Chain A
Amino acid sequence: MSRSTRLVVAGIALVAVVVIGFTRLGGGDTAGTEKEEFVYYPLVTNGFEYRRVPYPEDVPTMRILAGEPVVIEATRSIVSFWPITREYLADFAKLDEKIPGVAEVVDENGTVTVFDPVPYTLWYPRGPGAEPQFVMGAEAQPTYDAYVEEGRAAFEADRQYQIRVAVLQQEIDAWLKLAADGVDPLPDPPGELTESPPEPYLGYATEPDLSSIVQLPAGSYTLRWRGDDGQIMAGSERELFVAASTRAGVSYTIIPYDRWTQPVFTFDPDEAIYLAEDQEVFLAPLRASRYSAHLYTRLLDPQTIEVPDRNVALWVPDETSPDLSGFSLQVGSGGDRAGNIAWQGYRVFQEPNATRGYTIDEFDVEGALQPDFHAMRLPIDQSVAAIALIDPAGNEVANSSRNIRRVPAIPRAALYLPAVAFLGLAVSLRLFPTGRQAKKN
Chain B
Amino acid sequence: MTMRSSSTYAALGLALGLAGWMLSNDVALVRDNGLMVQAAPFRGPLLGALVVLSFFLAVSAVLSVARDRDRGTLEVLFYGPIDEATYLSGKLVGLLGAYLALMPMLLAGLVVLGIFTRFEIGLRLIAALVLSLIPAAGIVTIGLLLSALAKRVRSSILFFIAAVGLFVGAGVTYSFVSRIPIDDPASPILPLRDALGAVDTVLSRISPFTYLEQVFDWANIGSWTAVGRSLVLSVAGTIVAAVLARLALRWRGVRTREE
Q: Is B12 an interface residue (CB 8 A)?
A: yes
CB A26 to nearest CB in B, in angstroms, measures: 6
Partner of A311, one of B13, B21, B109, B221: B221
* A412-B28 contact, Cβ under 8 Å, with A266-B37, A274-B36, A422-B105: yes
Q: Which residues of B contact A420 (CB under 8 A)?
A: 13
Q: Which secondary structure characterizes the binding site on chain B?
A: helix
| Chain A interface category by residue count | 35 or more
Taking a contact as CB atoms under 8 Å apart, the answer to whether B39 and A430 are in contact is no
Cβ-closest chain A residue relative to B124: A270
A415 adjacent to B117 (CB under 8 Å): yes
**A417 to B111, alpha carbons, bound, how many Å?**
12
Contact B120 A272 (CB under 8 A): yes
Contact of B35 among A274, A425, A429 (CB under 8 A): A274
Task: Answer whether residue B235 sits at the interface, using C-beta atoms and an 8 A cutoff.
Answer: no
Q: Are B30 and A407 in contact (CB under 8 A)?
A: yes
In angstroms, Cα B186 to Cα A430, docked, is: 60
CB-based contact B9/A425 at 8 Å: yes
| Interface status of B185 (Cβ within 8 A of chain A) | yes
Judge whether B81 is part of the interface by a CB distance below 8 angstroms.
Answer: no
B residues contacting the other copy or chain, number (CB 8 A): 64
Given contacts A275-B35, A407-B27, contact A22 B198 (CB under 8 A): yes
Q: A83 contacts the other chain (Cβ, under 8 Å)?
A: yes
Contact B195 A19 (CB under 8 A): yes
- The 0/1 profile, CB within 8 Å of B marked 1, for residues 12-29 of chain A is 000100111111011100
Stretch at the interface among A41-49, A167-175, A251-259, A342-350: A251-259
- Interchain nearest-CB distance for A21 vs B (Å): 8
**A23-B198, A311-B223, A403-B120 in contact; A275/B34 too (CB < 8 A)?**
yes
Q: Is A261 an interface residue (CB 8 A)?
A: no
Confirm or deny: A178 has a beta carbon within 8 angstroms of a beta carbon on chain B: no
Q: Is the CB of B4 within 8 A of A429?
A: yes
Complex-state Cα separation, A210 to B74, whole angstroms: 81
Q: Which residues of A contact B113 (CB under 8 A)?
A: 415, 418
Contact status A26-B117, CB under 8 Å = no
> Are A256 and B119 closer than 8 Å at their CB atoms?
no
Q: A19-B199, A276-B35, A419-B17 given as contacts; is B9 within 8 A of A32 (CB)?
A: no
Check if B51 is an interface residue, CB within 8 A of chain A. Answer: no
Task: Check: B127 CB closer than 8 A to any chain A CB.
Answer: no
Is B190 an interface residue, CB under 8 A from the partner? yes
For residue B83, CB closer than 8 A to chain A, the reply is: no
Q: Which residue of A lies closest to B23 (CB)?
A: A415
User: Which B residues touch A294, using CB under 8 A?
Assistant: none
Contact with A along B17-32 (1 / 0, CB 8 A): 1011101101110110
Check B112 against A417 for contact (C-beta < 8 Å). yes
Q: Say yes or no for A130: interface residue by CB 8 A criterion.
A: no
| The residue from B13, B185, B202, B225 contacting A426, defined by CB atoms under 8 A apart | B13
CB distance from B202 to the nearest CB of A (A): 6
The answer for the CA separation of A270 and B35 in the assembled complex, in Å, is 16
Looking at B7, B41, B197, the one whose CB has the most chain A CB atoms below 10 A away is B197
Q: Which residues of A contact B38 (CB under 8 A)?
A: 271-272, 274
Task: Indicate if the CB atoms of A279 and B34 lie closer than 8 Å.
Answer: yes
Q: Are A410 and B13 in contact (CB under 8 A)?
A: no
Establish whether residues A270 and B16, one from each chain, have CB atoms under 8 Å apart when the complex forms: no
A423 touches B35 (CB 8 A): no
A254 is contacted by which of B17, B35, B191 (Cβ under 8 Å)?
B35
**Taking the complex as formed, is B239 at the interface, i.e. its CB lies under 8 A from any CB of chain A?**
no
Q: Do the beta carbons of B33 and A256 come within 8 Å of each other?
A: yes
**A410→B222 CA distance, assembly (Å):** 31
Contact A418 B35 (CB under 8 A): no
Q: Is A397 an interface residue (CB 8 A)?
A: no
Does B185 contact A84, Cβ atoms closer than 8 Å? yes
Is the beta-carbon distance between A276 and B39 smaller than 8 angstroms?
no
User: How far is B197's CA from A26's CA once the two chains are assembled, in angstroms?
Assistant: 9
Does chain A have a CB within 8 A of B164? no
1/0 contact trace for A416-436 toward B, CB 8 Å? 111111111111111000101
The 21 sampled A-B contact pairs (Cβ below 8 Å) are A15-B199, A18-B202, A22-B201, A26-B197, A31-B185, A32-B185, A82-B185, A259-B33, A271-B38, A273-B36, A273-B37, A309-B217, A312-B221, A410-B117, A415-B116, A421-B13, A422-B16, A425-B13, A428-B6, A429-B9, A434-B4
Please give me the 3 A-B residue pairs with the lowest Cβ-Cβ distance, nearest first.
A22-B198, A423-B13, A418-B109
A interface list, Cβ under 8 A from B: 15, 18-23, 25-27, 31-32, 82-84, 254, 256, 258-259, 264-266, 268, 270-276, 279, 281, 309, 311-313, 403, 405-410, 412, 414-430, 434, 436-437
Q: Apart from A273-B37, A421-B109, A425-B13, what 17 extra A-B contacts exist at CB < 8 Å?
A: A26-B194, A26-B201, A31-B186, A83-B185, A84-B182, A84-B185, A270-B40, A270-B222, A271-B37, A271-B39, A273-B36, A274-B36, A311-B217, A311-B226, A418-B108, A422-B12, A429-B9
